[in-house]
Structure 1
Amino acid sequence: MTPGSHSRRRFLETVTTVSVLSAFPVVATAATATHSKRAGSVGDTVLRWLDGPAPARFEGATFGVPWPRGMVKRGTGKALQFRLANGRSHLAVQSWPLAYWPDGSLKWTAHAIAGGHPVNSTLQLEVGASSVSDGVSVRQGTDRIIVTSGELKWEIPTSGEYLIATATRLGRISMQDLKLVALRQDGPDLEGSGSVSRQQFSSKITRVTVEQNGPVRAVLKVDGTHAGDGRDWLPFSLRLYFYSGSDSVRIVHSFIYDGDPEKDFIRGLGVTAKVPMSDKTHDRHVRFAGEAVGVWGEAVRPVTGLRRDPGQAYREAQVAGTALPALEGMAKAVRDGLQWVPEWSDFSLSQLTPDGFTIRKRTQAGRAWIDCNAGTRTKGLAYAGGAAGGVALGFKDFWQRAPTQLDVRGAATGLADITAWLWSPSAAAMDMRSYRAADGMDTYEEQVAGLNITYEDYEDGWDTPVGVARTSELQLWVLGATPSHQSFSDMAEQVANPARLVLTPQRIHQCGVFGDWDVANAATPARKLIEDRLVSQLEQYLREVEQHRWYGFWSYGDVMHTYDQDRHMWRYDIGGYAWDNSELSTDLWLWYSYLRTGRADIFKFAEAMTRHTGEVDVYHLGRFKGFGTRHGVQHWSDSSKQPRVSNAAYRRIYYYLTADERVGDLMRELLDSDADLDKVDISRKLPPSPARAAPSGLINASFGTMWGSLVAAWLTEWERTGDTRWRDKIVNGMQSIGALKRRWFAASAPYDPRTGRFSGPGDHIAISQLNGVFGVVEMSSELLKLVDAPAYRAAWLEYCRYYNAPSGELVALLGKDPGGQSQVDSHSRLTAYAAYHERDRALALRAWRELFSNGRFIKAQETTWRIDGVEVLRPLSEQPGISTNTSAQWSLAAIQNLALVGDSLDDAMRTAGILP
């Protein structure tokens, strides 16, 4: 019986197998009586809001739902329709497939619901038809695409510079000329004498693709570059998301840095639009999100605070953002003198650090800026408009990615500009140069010597940022009037914390997805010790992000590798001990922790890491395309470029939970990256070894750090499309590993990227702890439930049983003890896997002893203390000796052990003397 089978059986007993068409329907239009009676088939699919309460303002949402194998089958009958029960009413749902089980039944479905209506704190997915009022529609023309939703009509050109040419509300153009902008500087900011020149670039569209056409959600993908000054650079890919019932468009913006780091300095990078301003200037308004729920709001021409009082009704109307009453009723002295009140045309909010923002304004270009106010952290939303309507624009992680900025220009003119600066032009230019010189490291021998002291693998020319990317999430509203302070605050919350529907950990676990894990459970003293340690470690890292300010445009979402207790700092400036870059599966640690707990703070931590590691730590063009960079001082500074960092295993959980198309693109990019393994010889600095030799046309590939890091992309593509060539490539690798003489204990073998097969005798013996810590454990657990690969199953179980085995057992198996085993505690999950599948209780107890071999992980609270005073920059809660490698791998081992051999934990702890 598999882990969690009892709960899964209960779940399945409450459901009825249903059929869907091979092409899953986009949205319901009608439902048969039979389907209506089957509402109980998804009756357990209750969704809640990630942050708890229902959002005050809802702009639509998309979420993923898993299904047990065989439950939702393809068929030839009427299409299965979904809707969401929202109290006594129902919300329309647009649905599509995300993944299939090997038998063709649906494994994951994606669902979108409309915005603009009140929602309850919990919703329930049901089978049944639903109607869409004022749905989204898409009409394609020869040179533009028209998206209509309610009162709004959006015109998207298929070429040129504008992402959206116009947005019309009830016949009035309320926004126009939405485009991307980039400011280039040909050198760093001045350091002494010299000069720099700047050029402006704007978006140049090369392709627009309609990916979904409604009626609940429409998605357009726009590809292009930034053009200007006779060149194209900074390729971008973004998506426009339109939801029925929403006044906004969600923009997911991705760009790749492809400049010369010595010459191409980004001075500003943003999204800008024009706002027609038809109201009198005293009825025009600018809003900025302030601290927490706060709002800063002022008129272009204020009537409050004047020497003469215009009257209470006029003051209240302007503060509220509504049109002033007829001027005939205004105090005559104010009415006559209104022309002398300055019109403030330009406004700017700059968040240059994660700890502070400033707001300034000026009357017009060429005049001095004056300071308005300042604060610490803002949610990142601006508005420009008036009583006749306007535009609000902002983006997620605003202060976390400082330096950022929001600008309104020309508010006193007939056409204002509103700009969201992903990189603030008020900050220093973005410097992508290497942080170091070669410093005499001209040969491999010298580079290895450097590696041995700083742990960074330096090689001239390999520390390039060319090809790294960044994704940002923006929201743009086209409104019929200036929003109230409360409404604007609710909008800002939507920007900073988009409303997200999620399932309970129990509901996800019942479907048997993502391998070996169980729902967090501290019901016994033994389990409580493990669960407390897991929680303590997570919460320490949540603190570390804030304590050590792990923020910034390129860095937010990553964590550091190793701590320096002497300085009470992470080793941010010491080679390979600095940024972690997914080393030892930090991403998986966070995602499995979320799956087990459903905690919002862990989800957001993991989400930020997924956005970072899949973009910044991976190359998306150039000679290293498809590979990631090992840990280093800069995210791209280490010369070790490997698939273990670009690993799709680190993205797929987020993809299935959210149906995020950008992450889907990132995984698909990796499908053929094994064909380029010969371009990056990972072992080039190691002494020659016959074990690493490979015939012409083949590559010596390790089973874990290489092949094990590639299979996640192939598995995901097979799941997403049903294309069996990816399954066959996986099985070829599995079976050929199993056919080698030493199987997994050969550690590597010649590999053919065309077939996915390993070859050669595989008679050498090698053990590397790295082979098992980059997702291959999780992938093997999933794959062995999906494919029939008996040779690999035997090889994997053998490796799991013997990796941590006593020396005598290894000698009996291999003829010698190869040595090289380390990270005994993190590899205890291999022992647990063998114990579970071979029903070996003695082996299960050994797995727990191995996990306990690092004793400091049992009672973590005793090792955390407070440090303040002159020893530190700010007071800290410190865990001396903390290491991300150890934290991630110990936690993953504990999670898998609990799922596999949790029934032996009490005995193991009593035997070890941990519990009486």
Structure 2
Amino acid sequence: MGEGQHVKLGWLGEPPAGTVSSTWGIPWAAGTLQREEQLALLGPDGVSVPVQSWSAAYWPDGSVKWTAHAAVLPASSAGDYKITKGTPSSVDQPIFVTETENGIEVDTGVIICRLNRSGNSLIREIVRGGSRICSDGRLVAIREAASVISGQKTVREETFHSVILTAKVEQRGPLRTVIKMTGRHEIHGGGRQWLPFTLRLYFFAGQASIRVMHTFLYDGNPQQDFIKGLGISFGVPMRGPLYNRHVRLAGDTGWFSESPKGLMTMRLSDRVAEYYRRQMNGEIIEFDDQEDEAFLKLLNDSAVWNGFKQVQLSADSYTITKRTQEGCSWIRSAVGRRARGLLYAGGEGGGLAVGVRSFWQKSPTALEVDDTATDEARMTAWFWSPDAGAMDLRHYDTQTHVASAYEGADELRSTPYGVGNTSECVIWCCGSTPGASELDAMTELKESPPLLICEPEHYHASRTLGVWSLPDRSTPLKAQLEDTLGSIIAFYQEEIEQRGWYGFWDYGDVMHSYDPVRHTWRYDIGGCAWQNTELAPNIWLWYSFLRTGREDIFRLAEAMARHTSETDVYHIGEYAGLGSRHNVLHWGCGCKEARIGMAGLHKFYFYLTTDERIGDIMDEVKDSDFTTLNLDPMRAYYPKDEFPTHTRSGPDWSAFCSNWLLQWERYEDTAYRDKMLRGIECLKQMPYRLLTGPVFGYDPKTGILEHMGHENYGHHLIICMGGAQVWTEMAMLLNDPEWSGMLAEFGEFYNLSPEEKSRRTAGAINGKDWNIPMLSTAMMGYSAAHSGDVQLARQAWDILLNDRSHWHIGTALQSEPVPIAEYVRPVREIPWISTNTASQWSINLIVCLELIGRHLPAALEARNDK
């Protein structure tokens, strides 16, 4: 179970300053933890802390593979937490949930939140200390429709509000409760419904905050249905005189602090100046009717500011404005670069704060509060700001450009119908106006949710997430390779910033290929633009985190997991369960394939954080092989024949296996295990086992693969889209020596000469399209470790480190400045870079260091490849 029979836990990044809630996952080696065994949490002082635990996955032998945990952790000195077997301590004041026919009530001990089961309003009200803090929490969307008649353009906006279809208690626990609500957006006044949504609300015992996870799916016509605004809105009671009401907006570093009725007038006595300073601090002001009579007359004459908003139109610019009333102009109050994304509004007796995560990264966003001078203000967190242009989800052209732009198919299947986007925010129910330090803490908590993580050694020893290595600097060459891996991560972190890879639909992805002439990535060249999980950068980033525990890498991988699982994959419609290949638009490529959204790309984030939305997505793809009945992945190469559809052993069937593995280990659903085993048995019966194909006839109903010949498609695609990682994990789980032998055979065979391939297979396999040797080095390492073939291990290292005739990195990356006049602003570049190379070279190196690291040469060898 670990050193001292416990699992050590530490904070991702710096320890939080105060009491916080956290949910995290812990892996367990096979046979270590039985499902009936309880777990206790010990604090840094060794005292037991209440913890809520549940099983998230199981090993084939029935033991627990992953556990999930939730706790409310008090402020403490530096030190590690520990999970150990034993009875958890009891919760003094657990969450109390009451369900009725019409609603759900959640009592955390500090706030009471009443939710509806039907209607437009999701949150009926939130009460703290007997006072209502919030009411009528609902989703809002704005549709823009434009028409041109006789050369005159008319734009019409339609407002939609949420309509609840379901509301259920998804998790009911003493420390953590999750409410899941689904529905659609309905036009104001009734009528059309569209934009399906899922909203999750997370409650923790003793906490006055609620984490909100908002997901919407696009189900419109991109030629007609333009989303102008999308957000969540709350009613906030405003109590007391106007000068005792407060608005706070987070800037780059400090706070915009104002009131509907500020105390600044053309005359400001020392006495009033003191009032003014106290007002700015959020204190309640009490005037003396006699002593302050003259000032109160001035105050009555001063303007009343009824509305405030902060609009982040791009990743590098925001504006704060305010106005007196509708029909009057918005007055610019402040400008800045990157707002921290938090708004508070309230009066005497408290108010509501809402913080949007990745506020500037996912621009255009906005925070707005109106009617602050009335009894009830309206606060809205805009995930897409109505002050920006409407979303334009149309394709960038009316045709495809397969030959010139590496687009995947002649068919124009560019459609956003069925893609999604998830936004996160936190709301705080405040008993009084928070001070600057308290508000700062809120922004930090919503932006970097506290997460407990294990040490890299524990993740590694558990063998729960495939084959990867821990950092090793024991020799000069190993140290150099670790530096190179670090430099690749650093380069992409810098590129995200200097190239501005931000925005509502783009944040979390990186680009595919570089253009050294224009000194930019090939953003406008079809299949060379956004990466869309091509060659498994998700796995690269997660391996990099697991082996280092670095917070910056975790956040990089987290953003990619969130984006690629939502926007690159279809959740409803004819392509449900498939994703779109890389393109100028994330949904732009005509190739819709299972490997883009395979569950194995996202399981890292799910198991580390227990994120329920990612769990939904992994469940959505479990039957993605059936979608290929209507959209054969090989339709451009093989016309309709006697087979229901076609599949490649990789990346298609390997992606299906990834999806099935997650169903098997999460739910112990043996039907998905058996479907995977059926495919393996089919491959065993092929003339040359895994060397056969890679294209097969396929029937999703039975899972049977049918022989269609040899070398009928490129073999590098079998392994470079995550297939190698899926297959080796299957070998670890299935305990099937023949399957392991088939993988070893593949790794040893891949780089044989064409003559030797032909000799071994009696002329059936002649070495056609066994491309890009570097992509096969992890499989070579697997084969060498399996058979003890030292010569093969050395060949793998030679290909990975020395052979410059193909995709190669080798040494630490060094960017160079672009001549100042040749790009729009100063940037640095690596002219030859591609994300395909960076991702796969890093993955193969990390795996080979684990499997055949002992055979790594003492130094790089000099080669002069043509």
**TM tier relative to shorter chain:** over 0.9
Q: Distance in 2 between the 1:152 and 1:116 partners?
A: 19
Aligned counterpart, 1:327: 288
Deviation track 1:439-479 (CA, whole Å, cap 9, x = no partner) reads xxxxxxxx6xx312111135555111111100111111111
Deviation track 1:889-916 (CA, whole Å, cap 9, x = no partner) reads 1111101100100011134x366589xx
The answer to whether 1:204 aligns with 2:150 is no
Q: Distance in 1 between the 2:747 and 2:19 partners?
A: 48
SS at structure 1 position matched to 2:69: strand
Q: Distance in 2 between the 1:626 and 1:129 partners?
A: 40
Aligned counterpart, 1:240: 201
Of residues 818, 830, 836, the one that matches 2:767 is 818
Cα distance, 1:599 vs structure 2: 1.2
Cα distance, 1:675 vs structure 2: 1.3
Cα distance, 1:92 vs structure 2: 1.4
Aligned counterpart, 2:306: 345
1:714–1:727 CA contact under 8 A, matched in 2: yes
Q: Are residues 479 and 117 of structure 1, via their aligned partners in 2, closer, same or farther at CA, if it must alter by over 3 Å? A: farther
Cα distance, 1:327 vs structure 2: 3.5
Aligned counterpart, 1:643: 594
The answer to whether 1:655 aligns with 2:655 is no
The answer to whether 1:708 aligns with 2:654 is yes
Aligned counterpart, 1:843: 792
Of residues 94, 102, 122, the one that matches 2:52 is 94
Aligned counterpart, 2:329: 368
Runs of 5+ in structure 2 lacking a partner? none
Letter in 2 for 1:111: H
Q: Are residues 600 and 192 of structure 1, via their aligned partners in 2, closer, same or farther at CA, if it must alter by over 3 Å? A: farther
Of residues 616, 634, 637, the one that matches 2:567 is 616
Aligned counterpart, 1:432: 393
Of residues 246, 262, 287, the one that matches 1:302 is 262
Q: Distance in 2 between the 1:388 and 1:683 partners?
A: 64
Letter in 2 for 1:402: S
Q: Distance in 2 between the 1:858 and 1:835 partners?
A: 23
Deviation track 1:731-785 (CA, whole Å, cap 9, x = no partner) reads 1112211221122222122222123222347566655211111111111111111
User: Which has the larger displacement, 749-758 or 622-631?
Assistant: 749-758
The answer to whether 1:378 aligns with 2:339 is yes
SS at structure 1 position matched to 2:773: coil
The answer to whether 1:41 aligns with 2:5 is yes
- Mapping of residues 868-879 of structure 1, within 5 Å: 868-879=819-830
Cα distance, 1:134 vs structure 2: 2.6
Deviation track 1:552-600 (CA, whole Å, cap 9, x = no partner) reads 1111111111000000000001111111111111111111111111111
Deviation track 1:86-124 (CA, whole Å, cap 9, x = no partner) reads 435442111111111111111100001126755745322
Deviation track 1:477-508 (CA, whole Å, cap 9, x = no partner) reads 11111100111111111122222222221121
**TM-score scaled to structure 2, two decimals?**
0.95
Cα distance, 1:659 vs structure 2: 0.6
2:11–2:450 CA contact under 8 A, matched in 1: yes
Cα distance, 1:231 vs structure 2: 0.7
Letter in 2 for 1:844: A
Aligned counterpart, 1:156: 115
Of residues 756, 759, 776, the one that matches 2:703 is 756
**Between the two proteins, what is the percent identity of the paired residues?**
38
1:184–1:265 CA contact under 8 A, matched in 2: yes
Q: Distance in 1 between the 2:110 and 2:149 partners?
A: 50
SS at structure 1 position matched to 2:152: coil
Aligned counterpart, 1:719: 665
Q: Distance in 1 between the 2:638 and 2:658 partners?
A: 30
2:480–2:811 CA contact under 8 A, matched in 1: no
Cα distance, 1:189 vs structure 2: 11
Cα distance, 1:312 vs structure 2: 5.0
Of residues 746, 770, 792, the one that matches 2:717 is 770
Q: Distance in 2 between the 1:607 and 1:188 partners?
A: 40
Cα distance, 1:335 vs structure 2: 3.0
Cα distance, 1:280 vs structure 2: 1.2
Aligned counterpart, 2:621: 670
Q: Distance in 1 between the 2:306 and 2:852 partners?
A: 67
**TM-score scaled to structure 1, two decimals?**
0.90
Cα distance, 1:131 vs structure 2: 2.4
1:322–1:387 CA contact under 8 A, matched in 2: no
SS at structure 1 position matched to 2:732: coil
Runs of 5+ in structure 1 lacking a partner? 1-10, 15-39, 439-446
1:87–1:120 CA contact under 8 A, matched in 2: no
2:233–2:381 CA contact under 8 A, matched in 1: yes
The answer to whether 1:744 aligns with 2:708 is no
Q: Distance in 2 between the 1:154 and 1:145 partners?
A: 8
Cα distance, 1:684 vs structure 2: 2.5
The answer to whether 1:801 aligns with 2:748 is yes
CA RMSD of aligned residues (A): 2.1
Q: Distance in 1 between the 2:268 and 2:111 partners?
A: 41
Letter in 1 for 2:544: S
Letter in 1 for 2:5: S
- Mapping of residues 474-489 of structure 1, within 5 Å: 474-489=425-440
Q: Distance in 2 between the 1:618 and 1:854 partners?
A: 36
Aligned counterpart, 2:632: 681
The answer to whether 1:830 aligns with 2:794 is no
Deviation track 1:194-253 (CA, whole Å, cap 9, x = no partner) reads 101111100000001211122100001101000115111000112110011221110111
SS at structure 2 position matched to 1:827: helix
Aligned counterpart, 2:729: 782
Q: Distance in 2 between the 1:202 and 1:885 partners?
A: 42
1:701–1:748 CA contact under 8 A, matched in 2: yes
Deviation track 1:796-827 (CA, whole Å, cap 9, x = no partner) reads 21111111123343123223422212221121
Letter in 1 for 2:769: G
Letter in 2 for 1:80: Q
SS at structure 2 position matched to 1:614: helix
Q: Distance in 2 between the 1:331 and 1:189 partners?
A: 59
Q: Distance in 1 between the 2:413 and 2:361 partners?
A: 29
Q: Distance in 1 between the 2:493 and 2:95 partners?
A: 39
Q: Are residues 341 and 597 of structure 1, via their aligned partners in 2, closer, same or farther at CA, if it must alter by over 3 Å? A: same
Letter in 1 for 2:853: G
